[in-house]
Structure 1
Amino acid sequence: MHTVWKGSISFGLVNIPIKLHTATENKDIKLRQLHKECHTPISYQKICPGCEKEVTNEEIVKAYEYAKNKFVILDDEDLERLKKENEDKAVEIVDFVKLEEIDPIYFEKSYFIAPDNGGAKAYSLLRKALTESGKIGIAKIIIRSKEQLAVVRVYKETLLMETIHFPDEVRNVQDVPNVPSEQLVEQRELDTALMLVDQLTTTYDPEKYTDDYRTALMELIEEKKTGKETVTATEKEPAPASNVTDLMSALQASLDKTKTKKPTTRKKKAVTAKKEPAEKATSARKNA
């Protein structure tokens, strides 16, 4: 399992060297975009609309837009320094709370916590303390240049870290449009709804729920692949070698060269034509 973060976590005077591993994965089926005419995959370029040209990663800088078209440029050195200052700090559990006190809207991403070298005993101690107390730990951590608030809890004998949103990252519920105010509900309607809830109530089993759309999409893809309903992208032909003469260029150059020579030839003929009468007159006088 790939390690995404390596450091230590502490509570009180106990320090645990740890590694984080992503606990979940995105199973979405990624579809490519092709040119309908030749089935070549579409590529996306970074274009500067001001210069009207493609730019490379080396030509791009990070900036914060504090007003319309007004930016503060942030150097990579500045960002790296801030990142280093915070990453050097150990992840410290600052509070212990009950899991049910945190609304699910705050939860973001899950990571398995594994003990690093020499951390097995302290790891087991924290796991046991959380299990016996029924509490979870609240901590802070820097992941991918972003400070995260996180909870540490036990999940199937493994310590699990879940990043959670800061309060100002959760939008105000008052801004949600068209939410109806409390209205009178007839008792008969409420009784029917409660009966339906009771009939559908069960024990949660995660294995019961599957992604039906993803399954159907993969079946459709396999069906088309088996039925040979496939296309092959058109490969771009390599550019001709620099020492190979372009036929059209050669023909055009030859044509231009011919046009340049023709006026010179006519001029010489014209001069010769003028000299001929003079030579004939001289010959006639001699004969006379």
Structure 2
Amino acid sequence: MHTMWKGSISFGLVNIPVKLHSATESKDIKLRQLHKECQNPIKYEKVCPVCDREVEKEEIVSAFEYTKNKFVMLEKEEMESIKEEKTDKSVEIIDFVKLEEIDPIYFDRSYYLSPNEGGSKAYSLLREALNESGKIGLAKIMIRSKEQLAVVRIYKNTLVMETIHYPDEVRDVEEVPSVPEADQVAKKELDTAKLLIDQLTTEFKPEKYTDDYRTALLELIEKKKAGEDIATAKETPTKPDNVTDLMSALEASLEKTSKEKSTKTKTTKKKTTKKKPAKAN
């Protein structure tokens, strides 16, 4: 399993060397967009609408738009200095809480934690302490230039770190439109709904749930491959830069040179054929 981060978990004076691994992966089928006429992938370019040209990476700077078309530009060095101040390779557990006190709306991404060299004993200690206490650790960590709030808990004998949203990142539920204030349900309807829930209640077995759309799409792709209903991208032709402008310039230059040469020839001819003045007797 790929290690994406190395550091430590700390709580009190205990320090546990750990490695971080992504606990989940996207199974989305990534589709490319082709030009229907020639079956070549579409290219996306970063273009400045004012300069009307593609912008190179080194020409791009970061900025915050605080109001429409008004920006605060941020230099790379300024952002790096803040990042360096916060980039402490540690998961610092600041509190211990009960898992049920955190609503699932706060949870974001999951990562497995494994002990790094020399960390097995301390890893086992934290795992057993969490298990015995029934608590989870609430921590802070820097991931990809962002300070994250996270929880450390146990999942099938392995420590798991799950990033969670800060309170100001969760939108106010009061802003949700058209939510009825009072219950408008008849008792008979409620009893029937509860009976239906009871009939559909089962033990959660994640392996029985599958992505039917993804399965059907993969089957369609394989069927098309087998029937050779495929598109092959053509080799991108090499074009000289600004070939039209260059040809126009060359033709204009040739025409100008021809005119100048023609004018010069006529002038020389006139001077040659000009009558000499008659000599005096």
Which category of TM-score, normalised to the shorter sequence, fits these structures?
0.7 to 0.9
1:53-92 superposed matches below 5 A:
53-88=53-88, 90-92=90-92
Amino acid aligned to 1:132:
E
CA shift, 1:88, in A, is: 2.3
Once the two structures are TM-superposed, the CA of residue 17 in structure 1 deviates from its matched residue by 1.0
Aligned to 2:158: 158
User: Relative to structure 1, is the Cα distance of residues 188 and 45 closer, same or farther in structure 2, using a 3 angstrom cutoff?
Assistant: same
Q: CA-to-partner distance for each residue in 1:69-91, whole Å, 9 max, x for gaps? A: 22222221121121111122632
Query: C-alpha offsets along residues 199-234 of structure 1, whole Å, 9 cap, x if unaligned?
Result: 110000010100000000010111111111111112
Q: Is the 8 A contact 2:151 2:161 kept in 1?
A: yes
Deviations along 1:149-202, whole A, 9 cap, x unmatched? 000000111100000000010000010111122233122211211111111100
Q: Which has the larger radius of gyration?
A: 1
C-alpha spacing 1:238/1:192, structure 2 compared with 1 (3 Å): same
Q: TM-score, normalised by structure 2?
A: 0.86
| Rounded Cα–Cα distance in structure 1 between residues aligned with 2:53 and 2:274 | 61
- 1:233-248 equivalences in 2 (<5 Å): 233-239=233-239
Distance 1:173 1:247 in 2: 64
Q: Describe the SS at the equivalent of 2:100.
A: helix
Q: CA deviation at 1:239?
A: 3.9
Which consecutive unaligned segments of at least 5 residues does structure 1 have? Answer: 241-245, 276-288
Q: Secondary structure at the match of 1:225?
A: helix
Change (3 A) 1:40 1:95: same
3-state SS of paired residue (1:230): coil
- Between the aligned partners of 1:125 and 1:247, the Cα distance in structure 2 is 76
- Provide the residue aligned with 2:198 in structure 1: 198
Percent sequence identity is 64
Which residue does 2:32 correspond to in 1?
32
* Length-normalised TM-score, structure 1: 0.84
Task: Give unpaired runs (5+ residues) of structure 2.
Answer: 241-245, 276-281
Does 1:230 pair with 2:235?
Answer: no
In 2, distance between residues paired with 1:28 and 1:165?
24
Give the Å deviation of 1:4. Answer: 1.9
Q: 1:254 to 1:84 in 2, by over 3 A?
A: closer
Deviation at 1:267, TM superposition (A): 9.5
2:278 alignment counterpart = none
| 1:103-182 mapped onto 2 (5 Å cutoff) | 103-182=103-182
Query: Aligned in 2, Cα 1:272/1:230: closer, same or farther, shift over 3 Å?
Result: same
Q: Residue 183 of structure 1 corresponds to which residue in structure 2? A: 183
Number of residue equivalences: 270
